[in-house]
Chains A and B, each alone.
With several copies, the nearest count.
Chain A
């Protein structure tokens, strides 16, 4: 199945991509998507240890399964400060 991944901030600047589609097996979780992403862009291996996973605009857990046409993203710590 096809899963759409949206990339922002450091993920976008390091990979050079803002959006891509990954082919994932049925039953894949957010953790599996992050692994597939790191396979595509080895520079993004830090993602699982730093980011929070998001599915269809909502924070979810790494064990959440994805389904076809889901929109997935990985959220590094946000802007914080001031």
Chain B
């Protein structure tokens, strides 16, 4: 698939596996000396529990809108080209759930831009993960666990 940037920003929510290579090629440019890539991958354990898989749910139109706003703000603060991509649906251990790639002239600003974008994405983009173990599951809501079904007693 051909990826296209709008201005300096590319955003996408997809249920396909994520691949950093095309995003890196997308943001690279003749005066971009530094490309910093963040990949958030599914860990085999969380809060002392053995994770089997994750299921991501998104408020897609809002999430894309927020991701674009974060990209635009990042590109204003640190002149850069930036791509943000988030996966939804079921993810197995080790798979990437989110990618942020920032290309800048120099490395200090590329690190700062990438860090700012992923930190802000994690704060305000409406995407949630349901963590599934052998014998149970929860929604991860920030620092809290929340029951998936109505019957379960909230553990918060």
Interface residues of A (CB under 8 A from B): 6, 8-10, 12-16, 43, 46, 50, 54, 57-59, 73, 75-82
Determine the chain B residues whose CB is within 8 A of the CB of A14 once the complex forms.
147-150
Residues of A within 8 A of B58 (CB): 8
In the complex, what residue of chain B is closest to A41 when comparing beta carbons?
B150
Residues of B whose CB lies within 8 Å of any CB of A are: 33-34, 40-41, 43, 46, 56-59, 61-62, 65, 98, 106-107, 122-130, 139-144, 146-150, 154
Cβ–Cβ contact B149 & A57, under 8 A: no
The 8 Å CB contact of B62, one of A12, A46, A73, is A73
Can you report 28 residue pairs joining A to B where beta carbons are below 8 Å apart?
A: A6-B59, A9-B57, A9-B141, A10-B139, A12-B57, A14-B147, A16-B150, A54-B59, A57-B62, A58-B62, A73-B62, A75-B59, A75-B126, A76-B128, A77-B141, A77-B142, A78-B122, A78-B123, A78-B124, A78-B126, A78-B127, A79-B128, A80-B141, A81-B46, A82-B33, A82-B40, A82-B106, A82-B122
